[in-house]
Amino acid sequence: MEVETSKLFDDKADLYASARPLYPKVLFDFVASLVITHDKAWDCATGNGQAAIGLAKNFSKVEATDISKEQIANAFQAENINYSAQPGESTNFRNNQFDLVNVAQALHWFDYDRFWDEVSRVLKPTGVFVAYSYVWPHINDNVDHIIDVKVKSVIEPYWAPNNKLAWDSYSSLDLPFKTIATPNINLENHWDLDQFLSYIHTWSGTRRCIDDIGSSFFEEARKALQSVWGDTSKKMVVKNPLTIIAGSAWL
The domains found in the chain, sorted by start residue, are: 5-250 (3.40.50.150)
| Percent of the chain with pLDDT strictly greater than 70 | 92
Instruction: Find all residues with CB under 8 Å of 181, minimum gap 6, and list them.
Output: none
Compute the distance between CA of residue 224 and CA of residue 5 in angstroms, rounded to an integer.
32
- 55-96 per-position pLDDT tens digit: 999 999 999 999 999 999 999 999 999 999 999 999 999 999
Q: What is the pLDDT of residue 3?
A: 42
Compute the distance between CA of residue 18 and CA of residue 84 in angstroms, rounded to an integer.
20
- 141-157 per-position pLDDT tens digit: 999 999 999 999 999 99
What's the pTM? Answer: 0.88
Compute the distance between CA of residue 120 and CA of residue 96 in angstroms, rounded to an integer.
8
Compute the distance between CA of residue 162 and CA of residue 155 in angstroms, rounded to an integer.
15
